[in-house]
Amino acid sequence: MQDSTFSTRARIVLLAPALAVFCAFWLLPLVALLQASAVPDAFSAYREVLTNARYLHSLLATVALSLAVTAATLVLSTVAGLFLARRELPDVVLIDLMLPDIDGFSVCEILRSQPSTSKVPIIVVSALDGEYVRSRGIKAGVVCCFKKPVDMKVLGESIRSNYELRQESVRLELAEDDRRRK
């Protein structure tokens, strides 16, 4: 498996947006609320925020914007994940079935339909269970299916064994290709 650790500079660059969101939407409002609660009649400030139409409209607009950004992020992350799976050729894919914009079985079918990812082992971890999940998983090419909550030791062993099987399969394919060329 590839080492996916980041340098300190890369971590800072990746965490900067999260820190900005944390400060803007949690830290600064908390400071403002603490300042407001320092006055003798603190509950009147809270009541004003909750009952004033201007504040309420602003709060609802912020929540709607947050939901839209979250939905867009989830859609983009699914597309990016599929792109990376095709391009980077993962050793093992670990996926949940309950994704927000596409179900996990569809992702499995997409991965199986691509020549570059058709033989990559897919392990499912999901809250879903039952005969439907097992039969649809078999049709979608899933090698293992775990129900949440998962025993992490068993999951780790499954990932490791499927990784080793995949590496052996790749080694045998390369050896076969070498024999054909000779």
Q: pLDDT tens digit string along 126-174?
A: 888 778 888 888 888 888 888 888 888 999 999 999 999 988 988 898 8
What is the location of CATH 3.40.50.2300 in the chain? 77-181
H-helix or E-strand spanning residue 145: strand 142-147
Task: Read off the pLDDT of each residue in 52-81 and give the average, rounded to a whole number.
Answer: 82
Task: Read off the pLDDT of each residue in 25-38 and give the average, rounded to a whole number.
Answer: 74
**pLDDT reported for residue 1:** 45
Q: 1-35 b/e with 16+ CB inside 10 Å = b?
A: eeeeeeeeeeeeeeeeeeeeeeeeeeeeeeeeeee
Q: Please, what CATH class does the domain formed by 77-181 belong to? A: alpha beta
H-helix or E-strand spanning residue 143: strand 142-147
pTM above 0.75, yes or no: no
For the chain, the average pLDDT equals 81
Q: Contact, 146 vs 129, CB < 8 A?
A: no
Residue 43 — very low, low, confident or very high, per pLDDT cuts 50/70/90? low
Residue 42 — very low, low, confident or very high, per pLDDT cuts 50/70/90? low
